[in-house]
Amino acid sequence: MSGPKGIAYQVVSAEELLRRQTEATRSRVAARRAAVATLRIAVGEELVADIPATRADSLGTANLAQLGVLENALVAEEAAISAARQRDRTARARSALAAELDSLQIELPALRFRGTNEPRAESRPAAAPQLVRRLQAVLDLATELDDSLQGDLRRLAEVVADPAAAPAKALGFLTEMEARVTAATNRQRAQERLTRRVEELGYAFADLLSSKTEEGLKAHVILENLTGRPDQVGIDAAVRRFGELDRSRAAAADRRFAVEQATAVLREMGYAVEVGPVGADGELVALASTQAWPHHGLRLVFPAGRAGLHTIPVAFDDTDVRDDVAFEESSCGDVDRLRQGLSERGVPTDLTHHVAPGGLAVRRETRSAAARTATPAVRKRKL
């Protein structure tokens, strides 16, 4: 026998967990599909004409296995488009540098861009072979950079190729440019890795970002603050915060599911259940009543931030204390059946505490306070 009880629960329903996993994967695929479509437009159809577009127009009906296939296909397509864009950027950079060298009439017989066999016309004495090789390496590295160093590269080529320049001057300038180009390349590659990690973060938490919840809105703000030139500290902080928000959202989903299944079980037991709105402190309350006890009912309290509920016997009218105790004793079996029904629906419970009948004065409840909202639709989930 018992009066008020404290109950902890855990959602293990295979059907519910599969539904959530499917929705999360569907959100990831949708986010990647949008990113790939944008990338195709940015790169241009001419460069990606040979890269097949992934058909992903059936996301709403695809199961988890089908979504996995689509996700892998989109990952491969995105990688292929990115590679095509990089090849085009490198080719354009090589062409631009070659044009600059030709316009300067630089004589570097051994200097050729990788993949080409076009000899240069001889108009000046050849530069020292070791300078040529090092200049070749600098220019090859610089093809991955933006235009910020192009002016310095032209000057470098002039100095190295100028037969009147002292070897020490040419060597010193080349050494300086090697250091600058290497540092710039390392910075650019590091920034590209960070930008890519932000993109992957958007995919990993696409389900959170696409949710119309408070957690989803907060996640959007965090992701927007990472745009531009993200840094490692900001990304690490975002990962931690996203994890917290996602766990909070999952806990809220657990509670919604537990409330739905508890409502269904109580109705099957003959109770009428009214679920109130979420309170200011995040608490959610349901009130169950039955014709067998017209002056009493059960108050179910689902607190925020914890997978648990409290069952509290209540009286609707000015009842006799003996009737209150009798209802507490009677409702004990109903609470046990509630726990059994929840377990059968994929929400096993543990009793955390209980109070003997009569141990606390029965709480007085008005029916009008309970009838705040209509009872939500119930989704029955299996183990």
**DSSP secondary structure of 200-230:** HHHHHTHHHHHS-SHHHHHHHHHHHHT-SS-
Q: What is the pLDDT of residue 154?
A: 65
pLDDT greater than 80 at residue 40: yes
Q: What is the mean pLDDT of residues 233-251?
A: 94
Q: Which two tokens stand for residue 170?
A: 């040419």
What does pLDDT average to over the chain? 82
Q: Is 119 or 4 the better-scoring residue by pLDDT? A: 4
Three-state secondary structure call for residue 125: coil
Q: What is the mean pLDDT of residues 366-374?
A: 47
**For 122, left (φ over 0), alpha (ψ -120 to 50), or beta?**
beta
pLDDT tens digits, residue range 156-189? 666 666 666 666 776 777 787 778 888 888 888 8
Predicted confidence band at 134 (pLDDT cuts at 50, 70, 90)? confident
Percentage with pLDDT > 70 across the chain: 78
* Contact between 283 and 300 (Cβ < 8 Å): no
pLDDT tens digits, residue range 75-98? 999 999 999 988 888 787 777 666
Q: Which two tokens stand for residue 377?
A: 């639709």
pTM comes to 0.74
Q: What is the pLDDT of residue 236?
A: 94
Predicted confidence band at 137 (pLDDT cuts at 50, 70, 90)? confident
Q: What is the pLDDT of residue 105?
A: 42
User: How many whole angstroms separate alpha carbon 137 and alpha carbon 134?
Assistant: 5
Q: Which of 105, 28, 2, 13 is CA-nearest to residue 331?
A: 2
User: How many whole angstroms separate alpha carbon 174 and alpha carbon 177?
Assistant: 5
Q: Which residues make beta-bridge pairs with 6?
A: 310, 353
Q: Which residues make beta-bridge pairs with 296?
A: 315
Range with lowest mean pLDDT among 106-115, 128-137, 238-247, 287-296: 106-115
- The end-to-end CA distance of the chain, in Å, is 29
Predicted confidence band at 262 (pLDDT cuts at 50, 70, 90)? very high
Q: Is 30 or 140 the better-scoring residue by pLDDT? A: 30
Q: What is the pLDDT of residue 34?
A: 93
Q: What is the pLDDT of residue 374?
A: 33
Predicted confidence band at 220 (pLDDT cuts at 50, 70, 90)? very high
pLDDT greater than 80 at residue 27: yes
